[in-house]
């Protein structure tokens, strides 16, 4: 059974903290994505990666960075968390462009 796992389901952090969200997929997919999901806004793409050490900005990259040192792992980093980054974060992977995306269960991040 294919799987995308995320390191935490719920996370509470303080303003200014550095936050790491980890995502691991076991399907040997080249492409991985980070989205944030907010009510009324749907899913918005933060960053994506199409190969190890390769990354591209999505629609809302400000305040975020990413790291992909290994094919199966894609990390989202909030350098200095702010309250407006309180959201649900979803990781996804896909075998190729135009194919189905497989999603993790999400991390609900609250920044106080």
User: What residue ranges bind other proteins (CB under 8 A)?
Assistant: 4, 9, 33, 35, 40-45, 48, 50, 56, 58, 90, 92, 97-98, 100-101, 103-106
Q: Which two tokens stand for residue 5?
A: 């796992």
Minimum CB distance to other proteins, residue 64 (Å): 16
The residue (of 5 and 82) whose beta carbon lies closer to other proteins is 5
Residue 20: CB minimum distance to other proteins, A:
19
């Amino acid at each position: 059974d294919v799987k995308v796992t995320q390191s935490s389901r719920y996370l509470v952090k303080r303003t200014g903290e550095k936050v790491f969200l980890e995502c691991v997929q076991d399907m040997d997919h080249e492409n991985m994505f980070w989205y944030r999901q907010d009510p009324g806004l749907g899913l918005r793409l933060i960053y994506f990666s199409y190969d190890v050490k390769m990354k591209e900005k999505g629609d809302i990259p400000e305040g975020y960075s990413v790291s992909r040192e290994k094919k199966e792992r894609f990390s989202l980093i909030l350098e200095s968390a702010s309250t407006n980054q309180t959201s649900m974060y979803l990781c996804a992977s896909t075998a190729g462009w135009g194919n189905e995306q497989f999603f993790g269960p999400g991390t609900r991040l609250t920044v106080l």
